[in-house]
Structure 1
Amino acid sequence: MIHWITKTFEELTTQELYALLRLRSEVFVVEQNCVFQDMDNADQLAVHIMGFDDELNNELVAYTRVFGPGIKFDMCSIGRVVTSPRARRTGIGKKLMEHSIAVVEERFGKVPIKIGAQQYLEKFYASLGFKQSSEMYLEDNIPHIEMIREA
């Protein structure tokens, strides 16, 4: 059973902050073998969405950060979408994105949402209503595309 927690940066506990930075590092740095500065001074402006798995000792298994318009893009955005390797192939990624979209709509209304997606996940994001809106570009040597989900 996953329980979801949504907090601003100031509301995060030190345990939650450590868990989300650890998960992002585990996947984006170690698993994807990508050396980059994950802590980009944007976390302080984000709403953090965390999914903890009760069956895995309350481990953080899913995470995104959400931004209002004008912070990362000219519209609301969802980023740092990550799921733990221990929770994959369970549908957690789709639940994470559905929950993140719901948080955007709750906080900002039914507005367009923009993401910078790893290109290989295009079909996954398309299944959630996102459409490609840019050519492929490299970010940290990983092919990405921008995608928008209309309101």
Structure 2
Amino acid sequence: MEFQVKSFSELNTTELYEILQLRSEVFVVEQDCVYQDVDFKDQKSLHVFGRKKDRIVAYTRIFKPGDYFDNASIGRVVVAAEERKYGFGHDLMKASIKAVENHFKVDKITISAQVYLKKFYESHGFVKIGEEYLEDGIPHIRMDKN
């Protein structure tokens, strides 16, 4: 899978629609979590996404240091349910970490991770910082990669 990195203004309407649909499909419907996904943070982030058969199936948004956390950050990590068995989540995280390094010239990254994905993020060099907390009703932990 090849990944693209685009600013908000570089996204075309079809890409934006597919991204918002994927995020809603997973974070709102699959995880049964009512929250405001469209949060006006997309405009200041870079969008990392991968396609399969001309459909966006993997996505993150990344922020430069200071825009979300003190460190650069990766958020809205999502892979379409039917595509997870192919390991695209790992490909997505590698592409997102590389995008942070290439675009922001830093290697310190902070994420707010869903607790059940702790081992997944640890496999990409992230370590747990602090205690669990609720974000949109779902247990999360802060994780940093240095």
Q: Fold conserved (TM > 0.5)?
A: yes
Render the CA deviation track for 1:43-95: whole Å, top value 9, x for unaligned. 000000010013xxx11110000000111101100000000012011110000
Using structure 1 for the length normalisation, give the TM-score: 0.95
Question: Residues 115 and 68 from structure 1, CA distance in 2 versus in 1: closer, same or farther, beyond 3 angstroms?
Answer: same
Contact in 1 for aligned 2:74/2:111 (Cα 8 Å): yes
* C-alpha distance in structure 1 between counterparts of 2:130 and 2:18, whole Å: 32
Task: State the shift of 1:130 in Å.
Answer: 0.1
Q: Which among 104, 107, 114 is matched to residue 110 of structure 2?
A: 114
Using structure 2 for the length normalisation, give the TM-score: 0.98
Which runs of structure 1 show a deviation greater than 4 angstroms over 4 or more consecutive aligned residues? none
Q: Give percent identity, aligned residues only.
A: 52
SS across alignment from 1:71: coil
Task: State the shift of 1:111 in Å.
Answer: 2.2
Residue 29 of structure 1 corresponds to which residue in structure 2? Answer: 28
Contact in 2 for aligned 1:61/1:86 (Cα 8 Å): no
Q: Which runs of 5+ in 2 are unaligned?
A: none
* C-alpha distance in structure 2 between counterparts of 1:110 and 1:43, whole Å: 20
* C-alpha distance in structure 1 between counterparts of 2:39 and 2:90, whole Å: 26
* Structure 1 position 149 matched with structure 2 position 145: yes
Q: Which among 96, 103, 110 is matched to residue 100 of structure 1?
A: 96
Equivalence map 1:54-69=2 (5 Å): 54=53, 58-69=54-65
* Structure 1 position 3 matched with structure 2 position 2: yes
Residue 81 of structure 2 corresponds to which residue in structure 1? Answer: 85
SS across alignment from 2:6: strand
SS across alignment from 1:6: strand
SS across alignment from 2:51: strand
RMSD over aligned Cα, in angstroms? 0.7
* C-alpha distance in structure 2 between counterparts of 1:38 and 1:142, whole Å: 14
Residue 52 of structure 1 corresponds to which residue in structure 2? Answer: 51
Q: Which runs of 5+ in 1 are unaligned?
A: none
Q: Which among 115, 129, 133 is matched to residue 129 of structure 2?
A: 133
Amino acid at match of 1:76: A
Moved more, 62-71 or 103-112: 103-112
Residue 42 of structure 2 corresponds to which residue in structure 1? Answer: 43
Q: Which among 69, 72, 95 is matched to residue 73 of structure 1?
A: 69
Contact in 1 for aligned 2:72/2:106 (Cα 8 Å): no
* Structure 1 position 123 matched with structure 2 position 119: yes
